[in-house]
A and B are shown apart, each in its own frame.
Chain A
């Protein structure tokens, strides 16, 4: 019972590099989302998806890109990494039922941009 799996767990990037953070869930959840967690800022929503082929922006989408080609996978792409993107990134999934939408989180990806 894997739940939500994120890879990699740790990553160091140089400014300007691009990379993809992977997220996969095996619970057949329709809804998936990406958050970033920064000291003093809490968790903030980056992008989300209500199903395969459908994505939308959250509170802090700039510098990130997403796509949802399958129900299981929701990768987050950093187009040109900047030091301001140093953060811990969490992927979450939940079942789309009004009110009963318990969210499950991955273990996080700790990204440092130098």
Chain B
């Protein structure tokens, strides 16, 4: 069964810093990997989906990379802003249904200080 871990568990940075969030998964035979953002008391918002054939995806100040061979993905946030404060979740598929059953990591709680 797929297992997903994320480090660090929490991160506090001053505004403007570039930062990296890490995600590790045990089963590298994945179809894709997805990063989500969750604000307190809210639902999950999809940030980036990386298909297994891709090495990275970019959306604005966000860049996610995927290294299947090492079982790792990173989410890079450039020029962080207070509005980036949230919990970031990494999700890797379990072993069936074309990657539609996700196993989630515990999340990284990010605080960006003005």
Contact = CB atoms under 8 A, between A and B. Distances in A.
B105 A103 contact: no
Interface in B22-49: 31-32, 34, 36, 42-46, 49
Query: For the side of the interface on A, what is the size category?
Result: 20 to 34
Contacts of A50: 97, 100
Contacts, number: 74
Contact of B49 (A48, A58, A100): A100
A64 interface: no
Interface of B: 31-32, 34, 36, 42-46, 49, 51-53, 89, 91, 93-94, 97-107
Given A31-B97, A35-B104, A43-B104, 8 more contacts: A42-B89, A45-B94, A101-B49, A101-B99, A102-B46, A103-B34, A103-B100, A103-B102
B98 A99 contact: yes
B101 A100 contact: no
